[in-house]
Amino acid sequence: MAFWVMVKRVGRTDAESPCTHLDPTIFGSVDSLGWYIQQWAGNCYWYGLVNFTAGVTTSKQSRYLSGRVVEDQTPLDQVVFDANPWVQVSLWLLPDLMAMIAVMNSTLLPTYDNIDGYVQQLLRQSYLAPWDMYHDSFDSGQISLTYKAIPGISRQLAEVSFARVFSWLGVCLLMTGSGFLLLVIVLDRHDIEVPEEILLEVRGERKSTRWDILNEWSSNALDMVKKIF
């Protein structure tokens, strides 16, 4: 498919490069683009040749883009295209829709220094729009089918190295064992035993506490007997 876009009218001229040094456009500098001048009218045109294959394919690997768009990610050398009646109709409507979308600029496609990407996205959207409309309206066999797509969420994948895990476990066991051996070597038998002074003090407190409880019980019993008699 060939595309021609009129850029400027320079009139009839014998200059070698009459379509260079043009004013900047929304695509930036256009001097590096291929140009063609119409000799009898003196009009400068951009021209481009686009080759593409259109058809219907069943995707085995897709990317979820939005609620209405799922993009095929299958490598081109593995794609198998099948015939479809709406492909030819969509190709017939492609020039008109490209002109309408470009004039409306409703897609907000980036243009500056991006003429190749702009044309690629414009072709894709101008083709998918009529094909999607015809497919949803007239392919009755697809109406009852329901597809569910869940957006992918990026996650971090952890890779565990068994060598690092077992080395960390060995270091932990080594620290525990070395600490135990250090306690055995450093501590003496007398360091573990409780001092005799503390034991005597605790025993005295226990005895005094017992006598206090007995005295309190006996006084309470005498008071109750006096009240009764």
Percent of the chain residues topping a pLDDT of 90: 4
Kindly report each contact of residues 98-105 with a partner whose C-beta sits within 8 Å and lies 24 or more positions away, as own/partner: 98/122, 98/123, 98/126, 101/125, 101/126
Does the pLDDT at position 171 exceed 90? yes
pLDDT in tens, 67-85: 667 777 888 788 888 888 8
Task: Indicate the average pLDDT of the chain.
Answer: 75
Write down how long the chain is. 229
Higher-pLDDT residue of 18, 120: 120
pLDDT in tens, 189-204: 666 666 667 666 766 6
At 4, give phi and psi (nearest 5°).
Answer: -130, 130
Region 53-69 average pLDDT = 77
Contacts of 8 (CB under 8 A, 6+ apart): 19, 22, 23, 43, 44
pTM over 0.85: no
When mean pLDDT is compared across 83-87, 104-108, 183-187, 225-229, the lowest value belongs to 225-229
pLDDT in tens, 95-154: 888 888 888 876 678 888 787 888 888 888 888 888 888 888 887 665 556 666 666 677
Distances (CA, A) of 121 to 21, 30, 46, 101, 133: 27, 19, 18, 11, 18
